[in-house]
Chains A and B, each alone.
Chain A
Amino acid sequence: MAKFNRKKKEGTPAISTASLPDIVFMLLFFFMVTTVMRETELKIIVKVPGATEVKKLEKKSLVSYIYIGKPRKSFQKIFGTEPRIQLNDAFAKVSDIGQYITSERSERDEKEVPFMTTSLKVDKNTKMGIVTDVKQALRKANALKINYSTRKEIVK
């Protein structure tokens, strides 16, 4: 009589996890390539207004940021609730902008300086007074290319 070595039934076979690292690495590389390192920690609340006619900001390495908005709750004791300017990681005054632009320029190649853009991330409840002051300071520093940061709004 022939012997049949029948396998015992074991329910569902386990899924091989050998390729799991490959999948995760793929995800990892995707995120490494598409994202940028966080540079600043925001100490103010910035909710930018929406607009429909927006353009993407090219070449992030050539962009310097100026944030304007109300200080966060934890800073309100020291800095009050009036809109403030933040450059890099610290609160600043309008008179600091000239120096900030100069230091941003010195970090870049000389050839790239004309293509540098200043992105203004301004909270939508801010009054124009402080924005106008910042714009005047930028004109004095000869940083004329600016970008009002906005959310892209979908046309209804």
Chain B
Amino acid sequence: MARSAPEINSGSMADIAFMLLIFFLVATTMDVDSGISRKLPPIPEEQQDDTPPIKERNVFVVLINSNDKLLVEGEPMDISMLKDKAKEFIANPKDKADLPEKKNVNIDFFGTYPVSKQVISLQNDRSTSYDMYIKVQNELAKAYNELRNEISLQKFGKKYSDLPADKQKAVRKIYPQRISEAEPKNVGGN
């Protein structure tokens, strides 16, 4: 019978593993990055000024001044009102004359649907705080998300986030997120 090799003492295995564990705990991060995704417009090329101007009724103007105060469509407004005002503007449920026009578009699953030609224009001052800016962005995103959820529940009986990709795309076509940020300028002094 071959002599068996002497067993290695594995008592300190746990210590080695603990050491490695602690190294990884210290050297790595687990934070999930989350945030509001936006797409910046490309730098406009010169002599490209033949695009038709957007009608005033189709634009929802949001201004933030240096004291973090809001001016929405020419009226001062509290941030808590912004979402409902934006929702009313985007959907224009009663076809009011001062809210955006609608255009019939053929969309999968929905057939012909009147899609509003809304654009939200957001302007801020150089002294606006970043916190306020994100709050406004968040409220506007919430307005779009709630409208998308409403129509998803109505049509498919599910939340927007639970829909398959092709249906999400159709819903996105009805309420496309159009937030335009003006070229930076100094409004309202410092």
Instruction: Say whether A associates with B.
Output: yes
Q: List 23 A-B contacts (CB under 8 A).
A: A20-B14, A21-B17, A24-B21, A36-B29, A38-B28, A51-B36, A51-B135, A52-B138, A56-B33, A117-B37, A119-B35, A120-B35, A124-B129, A124-B134, A127-B129, A128-B125, A128-B126, A128-B129, A131-B133, A132-B126, A147-B38, A148-B137, A150-B34
- Give chain B nearest CB distance to A155 CB in angstroms: 10
Residue in contact with A147 in the complex, picked from B37, B127, B141, CB distance below 8 Å: B37
Q: Do A36 and B28 have beta carbons less than 8 Å apart?
A: yes
- Give chain A nearest CB distance to B54 CB in angstroms: 21
B contact residues vs A (CB 8 Å cutoff): 10, 13-14, 16-18, 20-21, 24-25, 27-30, 32-43, 124-131, 133-135, 137-138, 141-142, 145, 184
Q: Do A54 and B124 have beta carbons less than 8 Å apart?
A: no
A57 lies within 8 A of chain B by Cβ: yes
Classify the secondary structure of A's interface with B: mixed
Point out the residues of chain A lying under 8 angstroms from B16, CB to CB.
Answer: 21
How far is it, in angstroms, between the C-alpha of A127 and the C-alpha of B129 when the chains are bound? 4
A25 lies within 8 A of chain B by Cβ: yes
Q: Do B37 and A145 have beta carbons less than 8 Å apart?
A: yes
- Give chain B nearest CB distance to A77 CB in angstroms: 25
Point out the residues of chain B lying under 8 angstroms from A17, CB to CB.
Answer: 14
- Give chain A nearest CB distance to B90 CB in angstroms: 15
Q: Do A128 and B130 have beta carbons less than 8 Å apart?
A: yes
11 other A-B residue contacts (CB within 8 Å) besides A54-B35, A148-B35: A17-B14, A27-B21, A35-B24, A52-B142, A120-B35, A125-B129, A125-B131, A131-B130, A139-B40, A144-B42, A146-B40
Q: Do B30 and A148 have beta carbons less than 8 Å apart?
A: no
Point out the residues of chain B lying under 8 angstroms from A148, CB to CB.
Answer: 35-36, 38, 134, 137
